[in-house]
Chains A and B, each alone.
Chain A
Amino acid sequence: MTTIYRKSKGLQDVPMHYCPGCSHGIVHKLIAEVMEEMDLIQQAIAICPVGCSVFAGSYFACDAIEAAHGRAPAVATAVKRTHPNQPVFTYQGDGDLASIGAAEIVHAAMRGEHFTTIFINNAIYGMTGGQMAPTTLLGQRATTAPGGRTKEQAGCPMRVAELLSTLEGLVYAERVCVVDIPHLNQAKRAIRKAFEKQMAGEGFTFVEVLAACPTNWGMDPIGANRWLMEHMAEYYPLGVVKEV
């Protein structure tokens, strides 16, 4: 019998709780595959956020630590510095990273901490039910901006990869998405590169994934991916933002 597909060993054999069309499951899989291909599962330590991916530690096969909301980069700083030869990554959403944890991510990047952050930007608070995030687009509806986000009321959305790229400690930042196979493959290459640079001790590495949240966007999965490419990718351009 020929194996055509199998689940990555980087994931535990448990069902995930994510909604249909959500990008989290795909990104988990990509990280898991990269860990497996680089033979890092036995060494890696994942730092999970508060948000939809709060259970990521029950999905990844590597060791994992749940962090308080926004504090994953602080937790990861201590983990990596006390275990400098082991791969460490944080997996954070936009509310977690760009809002409540803005200070932690900026300072981890400033210090050039040798861990990788996978930033899931779906322009909304997912788990709490569709509230406005710092990355919510102008005009995009949220339960706390039912008429759509306005510049006057909430300012313009934050381009985190560009913001962090101004810091010397960040050596690699790329923005990717997983809407189709070519983009998914590119996302996996970016995650792998980030891990490689981390293991080479180059500095802080950052992969921003534009992600779909059909449930809170009020769309079907295909429509969500289309909206992501038409609107999010326009404001948040895909590609390498910085590479040293």
Chain B
Amino acid sequence: MKRAVILSGFGGQGVMSIGKNLVEAGVEEGLEASWVPSYGPEMRGGTANCTVILSDERIGAPLVEAPTEIVVMNRAALDKFEPTVTPGGTVFVNSSIVPDPVSRTDVKAVYVPCDDIANELGNPKVANMVMLGAYIGATKALKRETIESMIQTMFAEKAPQLIPLNLEALARGIACGEGT
């Protein structure tokens, strides 16, 4: 098993933290994992992206030319990374922000209205958790339970009241991903 994901969006949309969550969950499940942030002028504001690799073998190159999946949280990210996806791979689009459809026919498109769902749940900050759910639901790369217990641990001390909200956001995302 080897998955290489590029996650991209505006700074503040949580693409970096979705990437970190994938790595944490992957490590929890005994996989090898790596996370590389976008590195350069984009480090300060503007578009942010990171590359996550999950593998059951030692990871060589931590950057990829042809990701198995991309997660795009804004329009620029779709333009930039859609051409790179490996044929048969998946494009996750935050359809609340990106109106355009995926133009390629050799990849699977998963449209996730992350911000709309987050707003419905009453907290725009959980948009990234919706997207994480969609990724899990569509790829089955990681177990739902792993993410759920990660959320429990993550918020247990600092903000336990946010646990149900995040679990709900995750569930809505998973439903969205599974339905595709």
**Touch between chains A and B, by CB atoms below 8 Å:** no
